[in-house]
Chain A
Amino acid sequence: MRAVSVEEAVAMIPAGASIMVGGFMGVGTPKRLLDEVVRQQKAGLSIISNDAAVPGKGVGRLFDAALVSRLTASHIGLNPKAQQQMLANQIVVDLIPQGTLVERIRAGGCGLGGVLTPTGVGTSVAEGKRQIEVDGTPFLLETALRAQFALVHAFLADYLGNLSYALTARNFNPIMAMAADTVIVTAEHIVPVGVIAPDHVVTPAPLVDYLITNG
């Protein structure tokens, strides 16, 4: 793990990059990183995120700035801007059941080719996918998802990069921290090694590439 400034971290992200962003309706989203992505105008991004949040909040900021070209998410209904951009064909949106989305990301981080899920069998979600029967029950083959970058927000990060999370800000963060080539983390508090007890570490330090230093 290397501690870097937010400017330095975002400068590493090329335009058009694929990026997983933690958070759920903006809660647990690495705000400082997204603000900097907007400031540096990284355009044409392929975003993987649970939702599109709302304008002005969380990943919603990226749609305000029209930096997204592709979105993979489970829900965009509370962001009218993302809806408009989708209906105007400015962005391509892949809508995926939330449980399938998180399992595809988990698979990507755990070395699996994908998962078999019953969710979506017989619906429009199944179109173009392989259906596999196991002991008579039909499942969809949902392939693994990975990205070039994961932007993760933790509650505590220690000097080594061990992470713990708080309340409902955990959500997709620890799953995404396993599924990207480069993992960049912001934390509410950076604390000395040992403050997070080994039992309470959710994301082990070797998974973290960059920790954003306090501004």
Chain B
Amino acid sequence: MDAQTIIARRVAQELHTGDLVNLGIGIPTLAANYVPPDLKVFFQSENGLIGTGPIPEQGMAHPLLTDAGGRPISALPGASIFDSAMSFGLIRGGHVDVTVLGGLQVDAQGHLANWMIPGKMVPGMGGAMDLVGGAKRVIVAMQHAAKGKSKIVAKCALPLTSTRPVNLVVTEMAVIAFPEGIATLLETAPGVSIGEVLAVTEAELDIPDTVREMKI
């Protein structure tokens, strides 16, 4: 199983019936593919839709119905449409139960940096700052390391997305939470030892007595 699939499958387990969920572009979007069909989750697309459905079949795309990346999507029965002020009212106002975002760095206190690399890549924060500040639960779905460097760092060197710590980080190697602001290893991926996780993690991790294996 490749890294993205492991992450997406594990993230999908964090979603529950009735949740209003916002998935960021990239790995987070893949999580929707692994939500069991009997689970009634409302997916929000911040460009103004609750009830996003799968990519339409060939030739069925509507030019006025896309996700936040501009790609064609469909809408499920029961979907609703609204403008951007309402969309971000939902987000900032605490109505979104779970947001799943990509990350560039997460630090030992759970702070996320995911919107720019000064002087190099300045895409802009889009909706990320509102989502991290406003959603009830914030999950970061990202690869554990990039170009051999840990993305889970002692302290974020990149500009922060929010001062609010995230709740959970899911990588292809581990699941990490931040109870009382302390990075804590909850789970390791199948075939990955605690030692292997620690070896590729810059941030200090608290290791509880029980570290489960990810069920994917």
Contact = CB atoms under 8 A, between A and B. Distances in A.
Interface of A: 24-28, 50-51, 53-54, 57, 73-78, 83, 86-87, 93, 95, 97-100, 102-103, 106, 117-125, 155, 165-175, 202
Q: Which 8 A-B pairs have the closest CB atoms?
A: A77-B123, A25-B70, A99-B88, A99-B130, A122-B163, A75-B126, A75-B124, A169-B64
B129 A119 contact: yes
A63 to B, nearest CB: 14
Given A25-B47, A118-B133, A172-B84, A97 B125 contact: yes
A53 B45 CA distance: 17
A51 B121 CA distance: 15
Contacts of A103: 85, 88
A123 B84 contact: no
B125 A74 contact: yes
B163 A175 contact: no
Interface in B71-89: 75, 81-85, 87-89
Interface of B: 45-49, 62-66, 68-70, 75, 81-85, 87-89, 91-92, 121-130, 133-134, 159-163
Q: Chain B interface secondary structure, helix, strand, loop or mixed? A: loop
Given A78-B70, A118-B92, A168-B65, A24 B130 contact: no
A117 B66 contact: no
A80 to B, nearest CB: 10
26 contacts: A25-B70, A74-B124, A74-B125, A76-B124, A77-B121, A77-B123, A87-B122, A93-B122, A95-B125, A97-B125, A98-B46, A98-B88, A98-B127, A102-B88, A119-B92, A119-B134, A121-B163, A122-B160, A123-B163, A166-B64, A167-B64, A167-B75, A168-B64, A168-B65, A169-B64, A202-B83
